[in-house]
Chain A
Amino acid sequence: MSELEFRRVSVTYGHGRTAHVAVESADLVVRPGTTHGLVGESGSGKSTMARIAVGLTPVSGGSILLDGVDITNRAREARLARRRVQMVFQDPFSALDPRMPIGASIAEGLLATGRYYNRIDRESRVHALLDRVHIDPARAGESPSAFSGGQRQRITIARALAAEPAVLIADEITSALDVSVQGVVLNLLRELQQELDLTMLFISHNLAVVRYVSDEVSVMRAGRIVEHGETSAVLAHPADPYTRELLRSVPVMGEPLELEDA
Chain B
Amino acid sequence: MSTRFTRTLRTPAGITVMIGGVVVLLATVFGPVLFGEAATARDIAGRQQGVSLEHPFGTDELGRDLLARVIVATRVSVLLTLGATGISVIGGVLVGIIAAVLPPVARRLVNALIDILLSFPWLLLALFFSVIWGTTATGAMLAVGFAGIPVFGRLVSTLASSVAGSDFVHAARILGSSPLRTSVRHVVPNILPPLLVNTASHASVTLLSFAALSFLGLGVQAPEYDWGRLLNEGARRIYVDPMAAMGPGIAIVLTGVVFSLLGALFSEKRSNRTLRALPRRSRAETRAIPTVPEAAPVVEAVDLRVSFRSEDGGLVERVHGVTLSVAPGEIVGIVGESGSGKSVTAMAAAGLLGPDSLVESDSLVFRGIDMTREPTSVEKRRLALEQAMIFQDPLSSLNPSLTVGRQLREVSEIHGRMSRSAAAARAIEALTLVRIPDAARRLRQLPHEFSGGMRQRAMIAMGLMGTPRLIIADEPTTALDVTVQRQVLRALRDAQRSTGAAILLISHDIALVSGFCDRVVVMRGGRIVEELAADRLDDARHPYTRGLIACVPDMGTDRDKPLPVIDAEPPSGREPGTSASTDPTAEHTEVVA
> Taking the complex as a whole, does A directly touch B, i.e. does some CB pair lie under 8 Å apart?
yes
**Residues on A close to B: CB < 8 A?**
41-42, 54-56, 79, 82-83, 85-87, 89, 91, 93-100, 105, 108-109, 111-112, 114, 145, 148-150, 156, 159, 163, 175-184, 186-187, 190-191, 205, 207-209, 211-213, 235, 245-257, 259-260, 262
Greatest chain A CB density within 10 A among B171, B482, B512, B538 is at B171
Cβ contacts B508-540/A at 8 Å (1 or 0 each): 111110111000000000000000001101100
Residue of B189, B490, B551, B557 near A179 (CB, 8 A) is B551
| B288 CB-CB contact with A under 8 Å | no
Contact with A along B537-563 (1 / 0, CB 8 A): 110000000011101111111010011
CA distance A249 to B170 in the complex (A): 34
| Chain B residue contacts of A105, Cβ below 8 A | 168
Question: Which residues of B line the A interface, CB within 8 A?
Answer: 166-168, 170-177, 185-186, 189-190, 337-338, 481-483, 485-487, 489-490, 493, 508-512, 514-516, 534-535, 537-538, 547-549, 551-557, 559, 562-566, 575-578, 580-582, 590-593
CB-CB under 8 A for A212 and B559, given A150-B577, A180-B576, A181-B576? yes
Output the least CB separation between A147 and chain B (Å). 8
7 A–B pairs (Cβ distance < 8 Å), ordered by A? A100-B168, A112-B176, A148-B578, A183-B565, A249-B483, A256-B516, A262-B489
A178 & B166 in contact (Cβ 8 Å cutoff): no
Q: Which residues of A contact B173 (CB under 8 A)?
A: 55-56
CA distance A259 to B512 in the complex (A): 12
Q: Known contacts A176-B592, A257-B486; decide if A149 and B580 are in contact (CB<8 Å).
A: yes
Number of A-B contacts (CB under 8 A): 198
Contact indicator B551/A251 (Cβ below 8 Å): no
A207 to B580 CA separation, bound complex (whole angstroms): 25
Are A183 and B551 closer than 8 Å at their CB atoms? yes
Shortest distance in angstroms between B509's beta carbon and chain A's nearest beta carbon? 7
Q: Are A86 and B174 in contact, CB atoms less than 8 angstroms apart? A: yes
CA distance A93 to B579 in the complex (A): 12
Across the interface, B590 reaches (CB within 8 A) one of A99, A111, A178, A209, namely A178
Q: Known: A41-B481, A145-B582, A179-B548. Contact between A252 and B515, CB under 8 A?
A: yes
* A249 and B486 form a contact (CB under 8 A): yes
In the complex with contacts A208-B557, A249-B485, A91-B176 CB distance below 8 A: no
Of A56, A250, A253, most buried by chain B (CB within 10 Å of CB) is A253
Interface majority SS (helix, strand, loop, mixed), chain B: helix
Q: State how many angstroms separate the Cβ of A3 from the closest Cβ of chain B.
A: 19
CB distance from A27 to the nearest CB of B (A): 23
Contact of B185 among A54, A100, A246, A248 (CB under 8 A): A100
Residue of A nearest to B568 (CB): A180
What residues of B have a CB within 8 angstroms of the CB of A148 in the complex? 575-578
Given A89-B171, A257-B489, answer yes or no on A179-B508 (Cβ-Cβ < 8 Å): yes
Docked pose: A98 CA to B172 CA in angstroms? 14
User: Pick the contact of A207 from B190, B482, B537, B576 — CB < 8 Å?
Assistant: B482
* Cβ contact within 8 Å between B175 and A156: no
Asked, given contacts A83-B175, A98-B190, A253-B537, whether A179 binds B555 with beta carbons under 8 Å apart, the answer is no
B557 is contacted by which of A149, A212, A260 (Cβ under 8 Å)? A212
Residues of A near B485 (CB, < 8 A) are 249
Asked if residues B337 and A178 are in contact (CB atoms below 8 Å), the reply is yes
> In the complex, which of the residues B177, B516, B538, B582 contacts A111, with contact meaning CB atoms closer than 8 Å?
B177
Question: Which one of B166, B175, B581 has the highest number of Cβ atoms from chain A below 10 Å of its Cβ?
Answer: B175
Give the residue name and chain of the B residue nearest to A96 (CB): B168
* 7 A-B pairs with the lowest CB-CB distances in the bound complex, closest first: A212-B553, A149-B577, A41-B481, A148-B578, A257-B515, A262-B490, A262-B486
